[in-house]
Structure 1
């Protein structure tokens, strides 16, 4: 079903514009400090090559699927004498009058084609940015490049937003009606920084798994690695990679039933505690090849403790129970100590210390604290003062997986409470512009065992049969911004083999925080009937003929601040 049919009332207010009457060539565009690299028309359902794409952004032969008749424009915007941001625009012939901007994860550097493709299909003039450098692996693009760091830290998305408005006006002959942003991880960090630093850029923002407090997020991977004995791989305290698989499986086995449903998912790990002593050798819980010796028990205990700075202040929440530990436990290659989480080494080497001789082998809280002092590119922007965005009527829809291995979901709880406190708002008042949804069983941005598909940023293609505001966060945000209907819940979908748009395995209602989605005790595992507002629960692997129908509701819980 086409997006314009699902939101017919909104589109009636903002009629479609024929972009084809404007020439799709470089001469159409005249922007300050900008070079138009290319402008070329493309037909729906065709494919285009993306030559020159660096390896960490895909492959040299990376291609993109064209999702509408459109004009593709590639620009380079000079942001300082020593830095520039590359921006890509997909301008559909059938335009809804809306803009959609996006960014990338990790240390940026890649155009988010997934979101651009979805946006163009839905009639948005869609934009992506490389955040000022090419590639998401490496340190050399940051080394001795303070202005490139400013682009990555806070400037690139702002430049993208301003450029998008000019490009759309010049191509379509009229200004956009609304401007939206969707990003996940680092893109989620940039979402909140936009609302904080540049509140006029966007009318509505989607912030997935937001990497706010980014320096502590990255530093935590090195600190926890040290807590489990790394880089001393032969020490009695070191917990081997294969042991962690057994540890996490046992944690899930023990804690999963506490939410009332045995489905392999811990609904909210921030409310649970776990004593690793139960996994010690001799208890019989783990076999002799992976059970924990005394020093290892202590290492696992420390791995799940919050992180404090050198002054003893807790600055980062505990690693969440049930999440994949590879970000800190996959730390050797062929028996040699080496972090697989390369972002830490790349950013501290190229941006924090600006020293090619630095290594993370002795990483500790002093290194973490130093990064906060330096704050390269203002990558930590202090996101809680969103007063200007709130006062101008902007809307933020944020979502976060409860099984996120990279950015702890507790950070989103902390941010929500921080914004509420900074602005001195009641729950109803903060919900008038900022709504948060937790997705049990979802990994970082996507996918996971849970009903994770909600129109996630950096996920393509979406299920185009579920583009309504009940199932798609972008549609929900547009409805909220343009008609004032705020989302109370989002229905997530889990597909068989995570083949989005294929056979539905299960669904679940995800409630606006601080409400929770609670099983009513009838039936077994979560599934939502697509016609009625009821929920079906099935055991994993059980044939659909044995489904039992039950009901559920969003239940209020106390918000601790």
Structure 2
């Protein structure tokens, strides 16, 4: 899918007027990339334009499934925007966006690659905007197809290959070449940061091509991919009985979320609407069972079938012969969990099975999903999409991996990240004290899926800028700048600083989140202050 290069009116003005106000004719060099940047025969320049700080930007992604798009408001720094189409095979290609700031040399000559979400066909423009404002030459891509859908995978194995890993690797290599072309200098350090599917991409990079990044940040990683996709339909079909009629109403999901928090909030000794350690939370939905003659309408209670569903919601997903496949959902953000329990089967599973695994458009969860289908998905495992290998290559490279996961993630349980970390301990035969030299994991209490929540969730990470109040872009102590210190100064992070906000966007709390296997401990005093918490 190729198009001819175009120029906006603003870019034309920028090239002629702003060249005198930006370093070294930066805007002129930027627009000149159309003629000067030809790294190989597979790469076509689609756009090369200067975007001035404070100017508006129109998201070129039009696919309706790319919800949100560019929500950052305005451009945060003077940047050169480069849009590329790179052929990855005769039947596949990847669209790449590189946003390269004018102050790159002064900010450390760093490169950052962003990750994607869901089925990963939407470029993360908010992350490009925010990270480039920190001085990083930042790149993103559509992972080889447009939209948060698996339809483009149908009978196109090369597109599945791009999705699994190749688009990320291609975008990284071409993005670095673009940086060198624009600035006429080599970059000094390279980073990756992504969350959810982007977290899986980060783990894939750490496992298979860690030499590309000095530091990799992977949040709420969707690894164990095939079982993750299958788990959504397992809970929908067998735990919620097809959710038809809906097992819980929207009002009941809210009430159960609030009840879960009430039951487990004070385990840490303070009531702050945060379940500090959900591993210690033993929910009892039976406490809300309707007595004979009572109902939701009269007493806000749950039926026996609903109580059974809620209990099973948190239980693991087991396969044939009792094989563990995937953890159950975590407590604390059940209104997000409810998204998997629509009247129709979870679309991610449907798309993955139909278009990536089986090339069968007639496949349905209702008729075809069972434990044998799950086993078959794991046998196919296209291009090792499961992403569940050890970190021997990362260790040998001398590079670093930092993972994190919100402990109130109702979409993708934190337990998956716990399990991955402990699997590395076992597979590599290394205790945590030795893993610390190249791999550290930070559970984030009170954070939902990648962003937002009741706790100190803002950690300067992927997918967070659009959800944070416009008054803050604070990154000190967060995952990205902590990784920079680890890589460039040899100072490894012991804690990650998070910030929480009121409903009107004011700073409400600051907390340091502890490195696993240490856990946050309330020391007393105002729970919204960093000094009130320690690690033990």
| TM-score, with structure 1 as normaliser | 0.84
- Give the conservation status (yes or no) of the 8 Å contact 1:54–1:60: no
* Aligned counterpart in structure 1 of residue 493 of structure 2, from 478, 487, 494: 487
- Give the conservation status (yes or no) of the 8 Å contact 1:495–1:506: yes
Corresponding residue for residue 528 of structure 2: 527
* Aligned counterpart in structure 2 of residue 162 of structure 1, from 144, 159, 173: 173
Corresponding residue for residue 126 of structure 1: 138
* Aligned counterpart in structure 1 of residue 374 of structure 2, from 368, 380, 402: 368
In structure 1, C-alpha distance between the alignment counterparts of 2:303 and 2:143, rounded to whole Å? 46
Matched, 1:145 2:128: no
Question: How far does the alpha carbon of each residue in 1:273-298 deviate from its partner, in whole angstroms, 9 at most, with x for none?
Answer: 22333222219897756533334433
In structure 2, C-alpha distance between the alignment counterparts of 1:370 and 1:241, rounded to whole Å? 35
Map 1:171-186 to 2 at 5 A.
171-186=182-197
Matched, 1:314 2:324: yes
In structure 1, C-alpha distance between the alignment counterparts of 2:203 and 2:245, rounded to whole Å? 43
Matched, 1:27 2:20: no
- Give the conservation status (yes or no) of the 8 Å contact 2:97–2:141: yes
RMSD over aligned Cα, in angstroms? Answer: 2.6
- Give the conservation status (yes or no) of the 8 Å contact 1:19–1:94: no
Question: How far does the alpha carbon of each residue in 1:472-496 deviate from its partner, in whole angstroms, 9 at most, with x for none?
Answer: 2211110110000011112211112
Cα deviation for residue 246 of structure 1 reads 2.7
Map 1:8-157 to 2 at 5 A.
20=26, 22-25=29-32, 26-32=34-40, 33-58=42-67, 65-95=74-104, 96-136=108-148, 138-157=149-168
Matched, 1:345 2:356: no
Matched, 1:477 2:483: yes
Corresponding residue for residue 11 of structure 1: none
Distance 1:60 1:414, change over 3 A: closer
Cα deviation for residue 162 of structure 1 reads 0.9
- Give the conservation status (yes or no) of the 8 Å contact 1:246–1:286: no
Cα deviation for residue 207 of structure 1 reads 0.8
Matched, 1:220 2:231: yes
Distance 1:48 1:276, change over 3 A: closer
In structure 2, C-alpha distance between the alignment counterparts of 1:106 and 1:74, rounded to whole Å? 22
Matched, 1:192 2:173: no
Corresponding residue for residue 521 of structure 2: 518
Corresponding residue for residue 407 of structure 1: 412
Cα deviation for residue 308 of structure 1 reads 0.8
Cα deviation for residue 391 of structure 1 reads 1.8
Question: How far does the alpha carbon of each residue in 1:206-242 deviate from its partner, in whole angstroms, 9 at most, with x for none?
Answer: 111111112222221211122334326359xx55554
Map 1:398-547 to 2 at 5 A.
398-460=403-465, 467=474, 469-470=476-477, 472-497=478-503, 499=505, 503-523=506-526, 526-528=527-529, 535=531
Q: Secondary structure at the match of 1:497?
A: coil
Unaligned residue ranges in structure 1 (runs of 5+)? 1-15, 529-533, 536-550, 556-561
In structure 1, C-alpha distance between the alignment counterparts of 2:58 and 2:307, rounded to whole Å? 51
- Give the conservation status (yes or no) of the 8 Å contact 1:279–1:285: no
Corresponding residue for residue 12 of structure 1: none
In structure 1, C-alpha distance between the alignment counterparts of 2:63 and 2:495, rounded to whole Å? 39
Corresponding residue for residue 324 of structure 1: 334
Cα deviation for residue 373 of structure 1 reads 1.4
In structure 1, C-alpha distance between the alignment counterparts of 2:410 and 2:243, rounded to whole Å? 23
Cα deviation for residue 325 of structure 1 reads 5.3
- Give the conservation status (yes or no) of the 8 Å contact 1:451–1:492: yes
Distance 1:428 1:61, change over 3 A: closer
Corresponding residue for residue 535 of structure 2: 554
Q: Secondary structure at the match of 1:256?
A: helix
- Give the conservation status (yes or no) of the 8 Å contact 2:230–2:374: yes
In structure 1, C-alpha distance between the alignment counterparts of 2:459 and 2:189, rounded to whole Å? 22
In structure 2, C-alpha distance between the alignment counterparts of 1:453 and 1:389, rounded to whole Å? 27
Distance 1:366 1:248, change over 3 A: farther
Map 1:233-382 to 2 at 5 A.
233=244, 238-240=247-249, 242-282=251-291, 288=298, 290-324=300-334, 326-327=336-337, 331-332=341-342, 337-339=343-345, 341-362=346-367, 363-382=369-388
Q: Secondary structure at the match of 2:465?
A: coil
Cα deviation for residue 466 of structure 1 reads 6.1
Cα deviation for residue 390 of structure 1 reads 1.3
In structure 2, C-alpha distance between the alignment counterparts of 1:70 and 1:112, rounded to whole Å? 16
- Give the conservation status (yes or no) of the 8 Å contact 2:116–2:195: yes
In structure 2, C-alpha distance between the alignment counterparts of 1:69 and 1:255, rounded to whole Å? 47
Cα deviation for residue 422 of structure 1 reads 2.0
Distance 1:52 1:105, change over 3 A: closer
In structure 1, C-alpha distance between the alignment counterparts of 2:378 and 2:221, rounded to whole Å? 18
Q: Secondary structure at the match of 1:79?
A: strand
In structure 2, C-alpha distance between the alignment counterparts of 1:452 and 1:498, rounded to whole Å? 16
In structure 1, C-alpha distance between the alignment counterparts of 2:279 and 2:410, rounded to whole Å? 13
Higher helix share: 2
